[in-house]
């Protein structure tokens, strides 16, 4: 398994290490709930260097990306980022990703577990006038998230962080290390994602500078466990749970990034047919009574009829109840509908709710 440049720091901090996406990654340090609440209330740092980065350049780069992603890349100006997805011809999702317009090239940021698959799929569609390069091992990536993220990072850089709009980025330095500072995140909080060299010494300088600056705010390292509970409170999809080859963006609630009117792209015809024929199911959020927990794969029922399955579930530290997402038939997908989840040997009432479970603060990512 691979390790990021911060592995030794995670071990020194007492992190519980697990395998994830081919990497040895920290799942928690002090505890998932403590780390989760630290991000909601102040600031936390995630090592997400396991994510994959591809560069796309050449005269055909824009046309290539327009054909293989569902969002409209022509709307992406230099210095901007875009959430998107890649789909198979039948409409199923290859992966969800970020697309960055870096001037003379584009950068794609993909899920760690999908790096090899995505690269193979993109190479199969790449025209001769576009160059696709896997630069994943060149980058470290830290996410600094929470209401005190700007106060933590601003003393470390001359870049005016307040001037970076949501889904935009700027180039600067932190601890004398060149950094791409992206106003993005996976928590629903104010935050930044920092891309920089994978050199271990440079990584230590950036990590130590951030933690020294955030000490007064009670900054904490955060593992993959709290990353999952934070994203689920916001209703963000996780590839392999909520979206995969068997789901399409429209039923997954990603119609807002799926620009069917932009022209042809892989999967478009299938999605148009499904939309015209009426989607048969929809990804919804639900809350559970008391402190019950729904897990991936549990049945969702309406009376005695199975109407869907849970894709993600957890206990929400913010609202102090069980929450989850799952695909259900359209007839029972409206907010307020009372269903049940088969939790082990009992039926637990579940109420369909409008996502997200927790409202984003003003200016949050």
Please give the average per-residue pLDDT across 49-66, as a whole number: 98
Cα 332-336-341 angle, rounded to 5 deg: 60
224 and 286 housed in the same domain? no
Residue 168 has pLDDT above 70, yes or no: yes
Q: Is 78 inside a domain boundary? A: no
Please give the average per-residue pLDDT across 56-72, as a whole number: 98
Number of other residues whose CB lies within 10 A of the CB of residue 5: 23
Q: Is 26 inside a domain boundary? A: yes
> Per-residue pLDDT tens for 149-162?
999 999 999 999 99
150 and 284 housed in the same domain? no
170 and 38 housed in the same domain? yes
150 and 291 housed in the same domain? no
- Give the burial class of 145: count Cβ atoms within 10 A of its Cβ; 0-12 exposed, 13-18 middle, 19 or more buried: buried
- pLDDT band at 163; cut points 50, 70, 90: very high
CATH at residue 159: 3.30.1360.120
Tell me, what's the pLDDT at 344? 86
User: Which residue from 313, 296, 328, 309 is spatially nearest to 233, judged by alpha carbons?
Assistant: 313
Please give the average per-residue pLDDT across 310-330, as a whole number: 97
Q: Is 89 inside a domain boundary? A: no
Cα 314-316-321 angle, rounded to 5 deg: 95
Please give the average per-residue pLDDT across 329-340, as a whole number: 98
Please give the average per-residue pLDDT across 113-125, as a whole number: 98
- pLDDT band at 327; cut points 50, 70, 90: very high
Report the percentage of the chain scoring pLDDT > 90. Answer: 97
Last residue of a domain, one of 232, 261, 295: 232
34 and 177 housed in the same domain? yes
Tell me, what's the pLDDT at 210? 98
Tell me, what's the pLDDT at 291? 83
Residue 361 has pLDDT above 80, yes or no: no
285 and 228 housed in the same domain? no
CATH at residue 311: 2.40.30.110
32 and 163 housed in the same domain? yes
Q: Is 17 inside a domain boundary? A: yes
- pLDDT band at 364; cut points 50, 70, 90: low
- Name residue, tokens 């330095």: 173
Last residue of a domain, one of 192, 216, 232: 232
Tell me, what's the pLDDT at 128? 98
- Give the burial class of 77: count Cβ atoms within 10 A of its Cβ; 0-12 exposed, 13-18 middle, 19 or more buried: exposed
Calpha distance 264→86 (Å, rounded):
13
Look up the domain containing 160 and give its range. Answer: 7-48+137-232
Calpha distance 258→69 (Å, rounded):
9
Strand-pair partners of 301 = 306, 340
Last residue of a domain, one of 232, 255, 270: 232
42 and 150 housed in the same domain? yes
Residue 180 has pLDDT above 70, yes or no: yes
- Name residue, tokens 């997805």: 85
149 and 33 housed in the same domain? yes
Give the pair of three-digit tokens for residue 297: 């794969």
Cα 156-160-165 angle, rounded to 5 deg: 125
> Per-residue pLDDT tens for 216-261?
999 999 999 999 999 999 999 999 999 999 999 999 999 999 999 9
Q: Is 241 inside a domain boundary? A: no
187 and 304 housed in the same domain? no
Q: Is 270 inside a domain boundary? A: no
Tell me, what's the pLDDT at 363? 63
Report the percentage of the chain scoring pLDDT > 70. Answer: 99
Strand-pair partners of 56 = 106, 132
Q: Is 166 inside a domain boundary? A: yes
Residue 365 has pLDDT above 60, yes or no: no
293 and 223 housed in the same domain? no
Tell me, what's the pLDDT at 68? 98
Specify the number of domains making up the chain. 2
Calpha distance 365→356 (Å, rounded):
13
C-beta of residue 70 within 8 angstroms of C-beta of residue 267: yes
325 and 207 housed in the same domain? no
Specify the 3-state DSSP secondary structure of 322: strand
Q: Is 177 inside a domain boundary? A: yes
């Amino acid at each position: 398994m691979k390790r990021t440049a911060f592995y030794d720091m995670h071990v020194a901090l007492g992190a519980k290490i697990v395998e994830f996406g081919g990497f040895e990654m920290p799942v928690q340090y002090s505890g998932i709930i403590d780390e989760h609440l630290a991000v909601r209330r102040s600031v936390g740092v995630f090592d997400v260097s396991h994510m994959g980065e591809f560069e796309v350049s050449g005269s055909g780069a824009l046309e290539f990306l327009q054909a293989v992603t569902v969002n409209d890349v022509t709307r992406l100006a230099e210095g901007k980022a875009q959430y998107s997805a890649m789909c198979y011809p039948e409409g199923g999702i290859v992966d969800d990703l970020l697309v960055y317009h870096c001037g003379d090239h584009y950068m794609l940021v993909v899920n760690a577990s999908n790096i090899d698959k995505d690269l193979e799929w993109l190479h199969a569609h790449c025209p001769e006038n576009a160059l696709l390069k896997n630069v994943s091992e060149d980058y470290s990536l830290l996410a600094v998230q929470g209401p005190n993220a700007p106060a933590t990072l601003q003393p470390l850089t001359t870049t005016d962080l307040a001037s970076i709009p949501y889904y935009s980025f700027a180039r600067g330095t932190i601890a004398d290390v060149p950094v791409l500072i992206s106003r993005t995140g996976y928590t629903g909080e104010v935050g930044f994602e920092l891309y920089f060299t994978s050199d271990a010494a440079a990584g230590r300088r950036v990590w130590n500078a951030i933690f020294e600056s955030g000490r007064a705010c009670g900054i904490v390292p955060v593992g993959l466990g709290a990353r999952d509970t934070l994203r689920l409170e916001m209703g963000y999809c996780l590839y392999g749970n909520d979206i995969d080859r068997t789901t399409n963006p429209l039923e997954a609630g990603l119609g807002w990034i799926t620009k069917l009117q932009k022209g042809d792209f892989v999967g478009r015809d299938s999605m148009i047919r499904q939309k015209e024929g009426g989607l048969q199911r929809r990804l919804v959020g639900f809350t559970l009574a008391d402190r019950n927990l729904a897990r991936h794969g549990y049945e969702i029922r309406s009376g005695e009829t199975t109407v869907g399955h849970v894709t993600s579930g957890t206990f929400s530290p913010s609202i102090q109840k069980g929450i989850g997402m799952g695909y259900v038939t359209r007839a029972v997908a409206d907010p307020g509908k009372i269903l049940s989840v088969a939790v082990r040997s009992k039926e637990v009432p579940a109420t369909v709710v409008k996502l997200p479970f927790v409202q984003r603060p003003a200016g949050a990512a």
